Amino acid sequence: MMNKYSVSKSAVKNATARLRLTKTQAQNVLPKYAQGSSFVWSLGSTSGSQAVYDNYNERVRLVIAENGTVLDVFPIDYALQSPHNLSEEVRQSLKDSTKKTLFARRDEIHRKWCEAELAFHKNSYEIAKVRFELIDASVEEAAMLNSRLANLCTDNKRLHEDRSAFRKERTELERALVPYI
pLDDT tens-place string over residues 47-56: 668 888 888 8
Q: What is the mean pLDDT of residues 137-146?
A: 94
pLDDT for residue 180 is more than 80: no
Query: Is residue 103 predicted with pLDDT exceeding 90?
Result: no
Query: How does residue 78 score in pLDDT terms, banded at 50, 70 and 90?
Result: low
For residues 138-174, b (16+ Cβ closer than 10 Å) or e, as one string? eeeeeeebeebbeebeebbeebeebbeebbebbbebb
Average pLDDT, the chain: 86
Rounded CA-CA distance 48/39 in Å is: 12
What's the pLDDT band for 175 if we cut at 50, 70, 90?
confident
The per-residue DSSP string of 7-65 comes to: E-HHHHHHHHHHS---HHHHHHHHHHHHHT-EEEEE-GGGTTSEEEEEETTTTEEEEEE
Q: Which amino acid is at 175?
A: R
The pLDDT confidence band at residue 96, using thresholds 50, 70 and 90, is: confident
Which has more pLDDT, 1 or 120? 120
Region for residue 7 given its phi and psi (left: phi exceeds 0; alpha: psi -120 to 50; beta: otherwise): beta
In this predicted structure, what is the pLDDT of residue 51?
A: 86
Give the closest residue to 49 by CA, choosing from 39, 30, 64, 32: 64
- Residue 165, pLDDT score: 94
Tell me the mean pLDDT in the region 156-178.
89
Average pLDDT estimate for 93-122: 87
Q: What is the pLDDT of residue 179?
A: 76
Q: How many CA atoms lie within 13 A of 62 on its CB side?
A: 32
If pLDDT is split at 50, 70 and 90, which confidence band does 33 have? very high
On the question of pLDDT at 128 being above 90, the answer is yes
